[in-house]
C-alpha cells in the first residue's frame, strides 16, 4: 500500500503513532547498540493498547514488549514500528512470526531493516500471512534515528560526527595548544549529551598529551562511549585519564614492534595496527572498518584540529556539530588544520542545518551535501 494515496486524516493518524514509536525507540539510546533503536505501538480503534521499545542489547525486541503489554487486544490491531520486524533468529526469536501469531491485522513500518539477514524478509513473511503492511511512514525520521546502524550495515563503517568548539573567526585552539575553554558551560554540557548519543569517541594523541581528557559523559545523563585514540607511535602515557575506566582502543601504525603497547594493554586497552596513508597519518578507512566490525554504529570525532582535518580531507565526515563561541581569538589552530583546498567548490557544504543557542554559544549541526 502506498501512503500517498491514503486520505489525509488516515495519513496523519499513521504519522502520529509512528512519532510515538520513534520517541519510544530513542529511549534505548546508549543501551542497544550495536542493535538499532526500535519502538513499537499497538493500536486498536484509535487507542494505544500496547507499547514497547528495545531496551538493551540482547534483550527482547520492541514488538515483543508491545505485544506482551497488549495481550489478547493485539488481535485485529495495527502495529506501528519504526523498523521492519525481524525474520531471523538472533539473540532473540524473530518478531514477524510473533505478530502473525498474535493475529494483528496491519503493520505500519518506518523503513526496511538493512540487516542482510532481514532485508525485506520480515515484511514478506507478514504479507504472506495475510497481514496488511504499510511501508515508509516517516521514512526520513526512521532513517535518521538509526543512521549509524544503517551506515554500518550498508557500508561497513560507523556514522561519523565531527564535533568542534571554535571562536567566530574559526580558531579551535591557540598556537600553544591552549583551548580550555572556548565555549561556555552549557555548550559543554550539550557536548557531553552528544557523547552519550555515540558508541565511540575518537581523538588524536596530541589531544591526549595536551589536554589529558577523560572522554567520559559527565554532568548529564548518558552512557559512556568507547574511547578511541589515534596514536601512531604509542606516545600515550600509562597515567593518561582516557585509560581510567577501561574500554579504550588505540590505533597505531602497522609496523610497531610486538609488545610496544604492552603498558597500555596492562591498563585494559586494546591495540590495533593500521597502515599509514599517503599524508603520513594513520589510514582512516581501516580504522573505521575495524570500529564497525567491533559493533560501533556511531563515532564522535572530538579532536584535535589535525584529526578533524584528516577526516574532512578524506571526506569521511557524515555530520558536524559545531559550537561557535561569540569570541574572536585571532590566529591559532583552525578546525580543519592541515586541510587545504584549491577551489571554493571543493569546500564542505552543509545542508539541513539546525542552529540553536547553548547559553552564549551558537550550536550548529548539519550534514554535508554529499552524505
Q: Which of 33, 77, 115, 249 binds ligand AOF (CB under 6 A)?
A: 115
Question: Smallest gap, in angstroms, from Cβ of residue 92 to ligand AOF?
Answer: 4
Sorted by sequence, the CB contacts under 8 Å of residue 196 that are 6+ apart come out as 29, 30, 217, 220, 221, 222, 223, 224, 225
- Could you list the active site residues? 63
User: Do β-strands 159-167 and 319-325 pair in parallel, antiparallel, or remain unpaired?
Assistant: parallel
Binding of ligand AOF at residue 95 (CB under 6 A)? yes
Question: Does the annotation place 106 within a ligand binding site?
Answer: no
Q: Which is nearer to Zn ion, 77 or 179 (CB)?
A: 77
Q: How far apart are CA 240 and CA 269, in angstroms?
A: 12
Burial class (CB in 10 A: 0-12, 13-18, 19+), 160: buried
- The kind and range of the H/E element at 163 are strand 159-167
* DSSP-derived 3-state class of residue 299: strand
DSSP letter (8 states) at residue 214: -
Region of 173 please: left (phi>0), alpha (psi -120 to 50) or beta.
beta
CB of 123 to ligand AOF, least distance (A): 11
The number of CA neighbours under 13 Å toward the Cβ of 65 is 19
Pairing between β-strand 39-44 and β-strand 78-83 as defined by DSSP bridges: antiparallel
Residue 38 vs 166, nearer CB to ligand AOF: 38
Residue 201, helix vs strand vs coil: strand
Q: Judged by CB under 6 A, does residue 90 bind ligand AOF?
A: yes
Beta carbon nearer to Zn ion, 116 or 326: 116
Q: Which residue is nearest to ligand AOF (CB)?
A: 90
* CB nearer ligand AOF, residue 19 or residue 117: 117
Minimum CB–partner distance for residue 300 and ligand AOF (Å): 22
- 61 sits near Zn ion (criterion: CB under 5 A): yes
- Number of residues lying near ligand AOF (CB under 6 A): 17
Examine residue 222 and tell whether it contacts ligand AOF (CB under 6 A).
Answer: no
Name which of Zn ion, ligand AOF, none residue 113 binds, using a CB cut-off of 5 to 8 Å depending on partner kind. ligand AOF
Shortest distance (Å) from residue 89 CB to Zn ion: 10
152 scored as a contact of ligand AOF (CB under 6 A):
no
- The minimum distance between CB 61 and Zn ion, in angstroms, equals 3
* 86 lines the binding site for Zn ion (CB under 5 A): yes
**Contact call for residue 123 and ligand AOF (CB under 6 A):** no
Q: What are the distances in angstroms from CA 158 to CA 287, 291, 304? A: 10, 7, 19
The number of residues making up the chain comes to: 371
- CA geometry: angle 26, 28, 34, nearest 5 deg: 110
350 burial via Cβ count (<10 Å: 0-12, 13-18, 19+) = middle
**What's the rounded Cα separation, in Å, for the pair 283 and 290?**
11
Residue 144 marked in a binding site: no
Give the span between the Cα atoms of 12 and 152, in whole angstroms: 32
According to DSSP, the β-strands at 47-53 and 39-44 are antiparallel
338 binds ligand AOF (CB under 6 A): no
Nearer to ligand AOF, 32 or 325 (CB): 32
Minimum distance, C-beta of residue 126 to ligand AOF, in the bound complex (Å): 11
Residues forming the site for Zn ion (CB under 5 A): 61, 86, 95
Binding annotation for NADP(+):
165, 181, 195, 207, 211, 304-310
Binding annotation for substrate:
179, 215, 218, 302
Binding annotation:
61, 86, 95, 165, 179, 181, 195, 207, 211, 215, 218, 302, 304-310
Residues forming the site for ligand AOF (CB under 6 A): 35-36, 38, 54, 61-63, 83, 85-86, 90-92, 95, 113, 115, 118
Binding annotation for Zn(2+):
61, 86, 95
Amino acid at each position: 500500500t502506498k501512503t500517498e494515496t491514503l486520505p489525509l486524516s488516515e495519513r496523519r493518524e499513521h504519522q502520529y503513532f509512528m512519532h510515538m514509536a520513534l520517541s519510544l525507540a530513542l529511549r534505548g539510546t546508549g543501551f542497544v547498540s550495536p542493535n538499532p533503536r526500535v519502538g513499537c505501538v499497538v493500536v486498536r480503534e484509535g487507542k494505544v493498547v500496547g507499547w514497547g521499545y528495545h531496551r538493551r542489547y540482547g534483550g527482547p525486541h520492541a514488538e515483543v514488549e508491545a505485544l506482551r503489554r497488549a495481550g489478547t487486544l493485539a488481535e485485529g490491531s495495527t502495529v506501528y514500528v519504526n523498523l521492519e520486524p525481524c525474520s531471523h533468529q538472533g539473540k532473540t526469536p524473530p518478531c514477524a512470526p510473533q505478530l502473525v501469531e498474535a493475529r494483528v491485522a496491519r503493520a505500519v513500518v518506518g523503513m526496511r531493516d538493512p540487516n542482510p539477514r532481514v532485508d525485506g524478509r520480515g515484511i514478506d513473511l507478514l504479507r504472506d500471512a495475510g497481514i496488511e503492511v504499510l511501508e515508509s511512514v516517516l521514512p526520513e525520521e526512521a532513517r535518521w534515528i538509526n543512521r549509524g546502524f544503517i551506515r554500518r550495515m550498508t557500508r561497513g563503517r560507523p556514522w561519523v560526527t565531527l564535533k568542534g568548539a571554535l571562536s567566530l573567526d574559526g580558531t579551535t585552539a591557540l598556537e600553544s595548544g591552549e583551548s580550555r575553554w572556548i565555549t561556555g558551560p552549557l555548550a559543554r554540557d550539550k557536548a557531553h549529551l552528544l557523547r552519550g548519543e555515540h558508541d565511540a569517541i575518537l581523538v588524536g594523541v596530541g589531544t591526549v598529551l595536551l589536554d589529558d581528557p577523560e572522554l567520559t559523559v559527565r554532568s548529564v545523563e548518558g552512557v559512556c562511549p568507547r574511547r578511541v585514540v589515534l596514536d601512531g607511535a604509542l606516545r600515550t602515557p600509562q597515567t593518561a585519564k582516557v585509560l581510567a575506566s577501561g574500554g579504550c582502543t588505540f590505533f597505531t601504525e602497522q609496523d610497531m614492534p610486538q609488545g610496544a603497547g604492552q603498558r597500555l594493554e596492562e591498563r585494559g586497552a586494546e591495540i590495533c595496527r593500521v597502515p599509514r596513508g599517503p599524508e603520513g597519518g594513520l589510514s582512516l578507512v581501516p580504522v573505521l572498518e575495524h570500529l564497525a566490525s567491533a559493533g560501533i554504529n556511531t563515532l564522535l570525532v572530538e579532536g584535535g584540529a589535525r584529526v578533524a582535518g584528516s577526516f574532512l580531507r578524506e571526506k569521511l565526515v557524515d555530520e558536524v556539530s559545531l559550537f561557535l563561541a561569540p569570541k574572536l581569538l585571532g590566529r591559532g589552530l583552525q578546525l580543519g588544520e592541515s586541510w587545504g583546498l584549491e577551489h571554493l567548490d571543493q569546500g564542505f557544504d552543509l545542508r539541513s542545518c539546525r542552529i540553536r543557542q547553548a547559553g552564549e554559544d551558537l550550536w550548529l549541526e548539519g550534514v554535508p551535501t554529499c552524505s
